Amino acid sequence: MMGKCTLGLAVSLVTLLLTVTYAEETQRRTYSHPCMGTVFYITLYSDDANASQKAVDEAFQRIEAINQAASDYLPESELSRFNRAPTNEAVHVSDDLYRLIALSLKTSELTSGAFDITAMYSVQLWRRAKRQHRAPTPEQVTHAVALTDWRALQLDEVHHTVTKTKPELMIDLGGIGKGYAAHEALLVLKQHGITTALVAGSGDLAIGDPPPAKTGWDVALRTFEKPEEKDRLLHVTLHNCGCSTSGDLHQFLELDGVRYSHIIDPKTGLGLTNHIACTVIAPDAAWSDALDTPMCVLGVEAGLKVIESQPQTSARFVMLQADGTIISTTSANFPVTEK
């Protein structure tokens, strides 16, 4: 995931169209910082350049700290050390790692295991397959599935520990880390009194109060094969929420005519082949990022049931059909504004 991952598709699916607005002295300011294999952008409105810079520096430091805790690319990250820890040992973990794992397990429960951070072996198999342009063997896939089991992670809230109850269990937080980091960065800005802000990390947006004189931030979801067809962008006006997009309509591994996504079905250990992308809008970006990945695994029918069971949560699914056409389905409460 983080560090130097190939993220891909969400980048190509989501484009931010941020309207430039100048209130009396308030100015729109933008900042960027590379981390987690992507670039994080902060856009905020403030009348004080120095105070904004200080708040933004701290927000980016917060993202760096989360990467140090949760990256599986950094061999000395807290997560990498946890992945090397022995079975049945209660490991004391930082607040960030604890919260990321707790939210992930809640998502696994809610999605019947379609989201599973212990699918690390399968994720690694498909990362390697993409690099080598060669599919994993059935034996490798079976082995990876056997090592996947989110129920084998035990949390102890009182002692703040995580225990692996199954040998060789490993965690990958790629499906949730960027959204969590964007959300935490937005909280840092709020602590500095900057509430009119948006933090974007590739396909994950943490969105604060609306810009001056606006009802929200204009977010354009690019959903068609030809991005230049601007009239086919779908615009949503959002504030105080998270918005995350995941899927594989544009980037994929193609082997023997089959397209495999970087999203894995934890039950089969295979990269998805259903050509689906999903945008989730939820109360915060950690939650929207946790949900967008399993929505692609579950598909429209089962996915919508999960989305509709959650307060203030909505989703849009986009599917590439065999004949090359693209169709979409939204949950009833998805805030669509067609242009």
Q: Does 117 contact ligand ADP by CB under 6 A?
A: yes
x-marked contacts with Mg ion along 243-262 as a string, rule CB under 5 A? ---x----------------
Minimum CB–partner distance for residue 295 and ligand ADP (Å): 10
H/E stretch holding 237 reads strand 234-238
Q: Does 55 contact ligand ADP by CB under 6 A?
A: no
The span from the CA of 171 to the CA of 153, in Å, is 10
Q: Does 284 contact Mg ion by CB under 5 A?
A: no
Q: Does 116 contact Mg ion by CB under 5 A?
A: no
The span from the CA of 260 to the CA of 329, in Å, is 22
Q: Helices 49-70 and 177-191, interaxial angle, to 10°?
A: 150
Long-range contacts of 76-80 (CB under 8 A, 24+ apart): 77/3, 79/171, 79/173
H-state helical runs in 72-212: 78-84, 95-110, 120-132, 138-146, 177-191
Residue whose CB is less far from Mg ion, 108 or 196 = 108
Residue whose CB is less far from ligand ADP, 112 or 215 = 112
H/E stretch holding 12 reads helix 9-13
> By CB under 6 A, what part of segment 289-308 binds ligand ADP?
289, 292-293, 297
> Which partner from the list Mg ion, ligand ADP, none does 171 bind, CB cut-off 5 to 8 Å by kind?
none
Q: Does 288 contact ligand ADP by CB under 6 A?
A: no
Beta-bridge mates of residue 327: 319
Q: Does 293 contact Mg ion by CB under 5 A?
A: yes
SS3 (DSSP) at 239: coil
x-marked contacts with ligand ADP along 158-177 as a string, rule CB under 6 A? --------------x-xx--
Residue nearest to ligand ADP (CB): 174
Q: Does 116 contact ligand ADP by CB under 6 A?
A: yes
- CA neighbours within 13 Å on the CB side: how many for 270? 11
Q: Does 172 contact Mg ion by CB under 5 A?
A: no
Q: Does 294 contact Mg ion by CB under 5 A?
A: no
Please give the C-alpha separations between residue 75 and each of 78, 81, 114, 156, 161, in angstroms, as whole numbers. Answer: 9, 7, 27, 25, 21
Size of the site for Mg ion (CB under 5 A): 5
> Which partner from the list ligand ADP, Mg ion, none does 71 bind, CB cut-off 5 to 8 Å by kind?
none
The span from the CA of 158 to the CA of 167, in Å, is 24
Residue whose CB is less far from ligand ADP, 194 or 290 = 290
Q: Does 1 contact ligand ADP by CB under 6 A?
A: yes
Q: Does 292 contact Mg ion by CB under 5 A?
A: yes
| Max CA pair span of the chain | 65
The span from the CA of 180 to the CA of 40, in Å, is 12
Minimum CB–partner distance for residue 122 and ligand ADP (Å): 8
Binding segment (CB under 5 A) for Mg ion, from list 16-24, 113-121, 172-180, 302-310: 172-180
- CA neighbours within 13 Å on the CB side: how many for 176? 27
The span from the CA of 33 to the CA of 60, in Å, is 7
Minimum CB–partner distance for residue 121 and Mg ion (Å): 19
Q: Which residues bind ligand ADP (CB under 6 A)?
A: 1, 5, 7-10, 115-117, 119, 123, 172, 174-175, 202-203, 246, 262-264, 266, 289, 292-293, 297
Q: Which residues bind Mg ion (CB under 5 A)?
A: 175, 246, 289, 292-293
